[in-house]
Amino acid sequence: MTEILALRAFDDNYIWLLRSAGYAAVVDPGDAAPVLAHLEQSGDRLCAVLATHHHPDHVGGLAEILGRFPVPVFGPRLENIAGVSHPLEGGERIELPQLALELEVISVPGHTRGHIAYYGPSLGDSGALFCGDTLFGAGCGRLFEGTPTQMLDSLSRLAVLPAPTLVYCAHEYTQSNMRFALAVEPDNIAIQKRSEDVARERAANRATIPTRIQLELETNPFLRWDAPGVRAAAASRLGHQPADAVETFTAIREWKNRF
């Protein structure tokens, strides 16, 4: 059984560490220090690094980690990340033999142009997704390099994963995202309840991640482009009914950028 640990980095990043039988792999090591500290304390041997996209808060620790442990590094082919030995574009299956783990690679451009996600159907009680800065708790990444259509397609690929799938995103943004979700759909009972749950967890300094696809489908405005409440919110921003999902998504994303 693979255990998944959160290593905290910077203000609100999570570096996810997968460990089993004395081996470990890390996802998005923006900082080497917490990774090296874990390896030192636990005695785990590092066997791989997985990167979702090129931003420094996700790959800034790579050089130092590789200087100590020259392990395979998986990452997006479309992005220029020093140290990536196994470039990926989505659609591949990768094996981490030391962890007896197979992961599926999903192309999720939008936040960046080559962003990828890793999905492990056999992880945890019902599968786990490592999605970097694409899908957040009640939110999605900013569109730095991609179009709204690309991001909508990317989020659609994640939305169809099995509903109980655990979602391990790279930031603890859920509480501020919930404030926005409530502004979009003030009458949504699931959003009201999640806001209370998240506030309680954060007040106790506990993580709100992982979340699950099911909870995101119920409460994340960026997966709810077909929900009447989200369409209505988009219509009031636009001054007319949105023609399609892209127009709804674009209006909600632009509102969030200025929220």
Q: Which residues sit at the interface with Zn ion, rule CB under 5 A?
A: 55, 133
Site stretch for Fe ion (CB under 5 A), options 50-58, 78-86, 206-214, 215-223: 50-58
Partner that binds at residue 216, options Zn ion, Fe ion, none, CB closer than 5 to 8 Å by kind: none
What span, in angstroms and rounded, lies between the C-alpha atoms of 214 and 218?
Answer: 6
- State the minimum distance, in angstroms, from the CB of residue 151 to Zn ion: 13
CB of 111 to Zn ion, least distance (A): 6
State the Cα–Cα distance between residues 225 and 119, nearest whole angstrom: 23
How many beta carbons lie within 10 A of that of residue 123, not counting itself? 24
Least distance to Zn ion, CB of residue 72, Å: 22
Two tokens, residue 13 = 């990043």
* Pairing outcome for strands 128-132 and 135-136: unpaired
Number of residues that bind Fe ion (CB under 5 A): 2
Residue 231 or residue 253: which is nearer to Fe ion going by CB? 253
Stretch that binds Fe ion, among 3-11, 18-26, 49-57, 148-156 (CB under 5 A): 49-57
Residues contacting residue 78 through CB under 8 Å, at least 6 positions apart = 89, 109, 113, 114
Determine which residue in the list 31, 44, 57, 218 makes contact with Fe ion, applying CB under 5 A. Answer: 57
Strands (E), 58-184: 73-76, 86-88, 93-96, 101-107, 116-120, 128-132, 135-136, 139-140, 166-169
Q: Whose Cβ is closer to Fe ion: residue 133's or residue 185's?
A: 133
Rounded to whole angstroms, the Cα distance separating 46 from 255 reads 42
Identified binder of Fe ion from the candidate list 31, 133, 218, 247, rule CB under 5 A: 133
28 or 185: CB nearest Fe ion: 28
The least CB distance from residue 239 to Fe ion, in Å, is 33
Contact 158, 129 (CB under 8 A): yes
Beta carbon nearer to Zn ion, 146 or 148 = 146
Site residues, Fe ion (CB under 5 A): 57, 133
